Amino acid sequence: MRPRALVTGAGSGLGRGYSLSLAADDYDLVLVARDEARLRELARRIEADRGTRAEVVVADLSTRSGIDVVRAVIETSRIDLLVNNAGYGLKRGLLESAPSELDDQDMVLAGAVRELSLAAVKRMRARGRGGLINVSSMAALTTMGQYAASKMSTLVFTEALAGELRGSPVTVTAVLPGFVRTKFHERLGVERPGPGWIWLSVRQVVTASLRDARRGKAVSIPGANYAAVAQLARFVPRSLVRWGSTGFSLSRRDEH
């Protein structure tokens, strides 16, 4: 049997990149996102080009019903690799966002990740094999709003889970991408910040993180520049992190 991967947020960006890369490695796929049209287009492409099977699951992971739909797939069928990638940013800061908006974002970026991860790795451990990839962000090292807070939660959760599964045949990896060339910033209505050299392609992030996951690394930071930044961040005073994060957030809102 082919290995089978479930990818959330599969309709675009990194999720689409993971799906295409895994299909090229002869994985059957379960594609999860809110946009059914995009998922079905991707599934048709994968099945036509690669000959692997691609199932479509339409689910909104900010809702209880959406999480339950995906959890049911995990608990009733074989998933060899789970990629928790679904996510989005908010156009406004903490003070301008409604509490419900912050709750929904945290549910997608952290709550759903925890629940689906635990459901998957328990079954993987019982089978004696499997892998989990949770997409966090370099933003987890900053103080840039609820997005950063949720991504830090996912990073710590994933590292803790990797520690509990140390020595088992189940690998657990948190991925910390920096700026990636997707439609993320376009959807927020802001220009891509910073110089061109800070931007990574989807292929770079997917290739590096899948390689690290297969090697059993608990944390994957694609791009040598970002790996260096992560090392330096440990020595930067939090006051400076707050200053830089606030300035960056304000500049983005001004652009919008």
**Tens digit of each residue's pLDDT (9 = 90 or more) over 196-246:** 667 899 999 999 999 999 999 999 999 988 888 888 877 777 777 677 656
SS3 160: helix
Q: How far apart are CA 230 and CA 180, in angstroms?
A: 16
102-108-112-114 Cα dihedral, nearest 10 degrees: -80
User: Is residue 27 among the annotated active site residues?
Assistant: no
Residue written as token pair 């933003």: 139
Give the model's pLDDT for residue 254: 45
pLDDT tens readout for residues 75-115: 999 999 999 999 999 988 999 999 999 999 999 999 999 99
Buried b (16+ CB within 10 A) or exposed e, 12-22: bbbbbbbbbbb
Assess whether pLDDT exceeds 90 at residue 251: no
Whole-Å CA distances, 242 to 148, 218, 238, 239: 12, 26, 6, 5
DSSP codes of every residue in 31-83 = EEES-HHHHHHHHHHHHHHH---EEEEE--TTSHHHHHHHHHHHHHS--SEEE
Nearest CA to 15 among 47, 54, 72? 54
Rounded Cα–Cα distance for residues 134 and 82 (Å) = 8
* Burial of residue 110, with CB atoms counted within 10 A of its CB: 0-12 exposed, 13-18 middle, 19 or more buried: buried
The predicted model gives 29-55 an average pLDDT of 96
- Domains in the chain and their CATH numbers? 4-255 (3.40.50.720)
Arithmetic mean of pLDDT, 38-55: 96
Catalytic residue (choose from 18, 27, 88, 147)? 147
Whole-number average pLDDT of the chain: 90
CA geometry: angle 245, 249, 251, nearest 5 deg: 120
Q: Tell me how crowded residue 224 is: count the other CB atoms within 10 A of its CB.
A: 9
